[in-house]
Amino acid sequence: MINEERLVKLFLDLCRFNAPSLAEAEIVAWTKAHLIELGLEVWEDNAAERLGGNANNLIAKLPATGPDLPRIFFSAHFDTVEPTDRLVISEVDGVFVSDGTTILGADDRAGIAPAIEAVRSVMEDGAPHGDIYLLVSVAEEIGLLGASVLDFSQVEVDYGFVLDTGPPVGTFVNQTATHDKLTVKIFGKPAHAGKEPEKGINAIQVAADAIQGMSLGRISAVTTANIGTIEGGTATNVVCAEVTLRAEARSLDLAELDQQIEHMRSRFSAAAATAGANVVFDHHRHYTAFSLSESEPVVQKAQAASRALGFEPALRHTLGGSDANIFNARGIPSIVVATGMDKIHTHEERISRIDLVNTAKLAVEIIRQCSCR
């Protein structure tokens, strides 16, 4: 049985750790000690060395009570999208919020806490289960980096559940987009902006000409594109000779994504050619889409658990990524479980007490459904 106050305390304890990406050592150490105290087998991999951060991914295992039951995992991530060193938490009408000066950090402590409470509840109740792993990653917010280097050599699982998306609880993400990143460097020609500007080629102007008329934002129901940053220039009296732009595109449709990237490249190339500038592209696939059918065991177990608790087990897609993209790409079927965290990546981030409890209950029911022969 879920212990509500224990769950809430764990959630709040986790939220109070300031753990931006690549600086999660303190929360990892605390969580590791907590899981060891609960009696789980716990270890770390070498993610810190591989990523240049100060913390590793944390792996915990509750061994099976009987043979031939599915081996499952619950996953979440330690890091937050920005620092929370000034975090002040309050509960308003059953909803946890910050004071508005920082994010709350429910993304993804609202995944970690219910997963741990669910495993603890199963241990206390003596319910049968196969091997249950907890995989808690670092550096998720800056590109799913922790999951991408997670050492699976000692993790034998059949499928898993990633607690890392928004409401309503009881719903699941079974399809996500492919995400491409594009860095564009435009090389113009410097000149004195007051004495002889006609001898220069302004890289900022080339970028502006390229962007003018470029399809950005919502391209279609399944595709988006964005130019996020632009850097360049040295002084107002110098014709800008070099600009770097960073862009992205995402889509559920791979052909549409490739078409969008080619459209963006062609706009920059044409503008550079017209001005006599040069352009260099760095294009890479950040992560790959996945799509799980309703016939997949991981989907069936998730939906059965949701129905058993009286939720509506809707399946949905998202253009956002999660560690599930990495796990699925490795051939491990993984579905994303809604936790109830809302308005993430903003200072209005929030999660209700009841959603925390219901997420933990859902995790327990998932374990039960996976243990049914």
List the pLDDT tens digit at each of the 373 positions of the chain. Answer: 899 999 999 999 999 999 999 999 999 999 999 999 999 999 999 999 999 999 999 999 999 998 889 999 999 999 999 999 999 999 999 999 999 999 999 999 999 999 999 999 999 998 889 999 999 999 999 989 999 999 888 899 999 999 999 999 999 999 999 999 999 999 999 999 999 999 999 999 999 999 998 999 999 999 999 999 999 999 999 999 999 999 999 999 999 999 999 999 999 999 999 999 999 999 998 888 999 999 999 999 999 999 999 999 999 998 888 999 999 999 999 999 999 999 999 999 999 999 999 999 999 999 999 998 6
pLDDT value of position 373: 64
pLDDT value of position 67: 84
Catalytic annotation present for 209: no
pLDDT value of position 80: 96
Count Cα atoms within 13 angstroms, Cβ side, for 188: 27
Q: Where in the chain is the domain with CATH 3.40.630.10?
A: 4-176+289-370
Residue 340 neighbours by CB under 8 Å, 6+ apart: 110, 166, 167, 168, 169, 351, 352, 355, 356, 358, 359
Spot the catalytic one: 45, 79, 242, 323: 79
What is the model's pTM?
A: 0.88
Q: Where in the chain is the domain with CATH 3.30.70.360?
A: 178-287
Terminal alpha carbon distance of the chain:
22
Eight-state DSSP code of residue 152:
G
Is residue 169 within 8 Å of 311, Cβ to Cβ? yes
pLDDT value of position 347: 96
pLDDT value of position 319: 85
CA separation (Å) from 119 to 3, 41, 45, 73? 12, 12, 21, 11
On whether the 178-287 domain is CATH 3.40.50.720, my answer is no
Spot the catalytic one: 24, 45, 131, 140: 140
Is residue 362 within 8 Å of 305, Cβ to Cβ? yes
pLDDT value of position 336: 97
Is residue 274 within 8 Å of 183, Cβ to Cβ? no
* Alpha helices per DSSP H over 185-253: 203-211
CA 112 to chain centre: 13
Other beta carbons within 10 Å of 280: 12
Catalytic annotation present for 365: no
The CATH class that applies to domain 4-176+289-370 reads: alpha beta
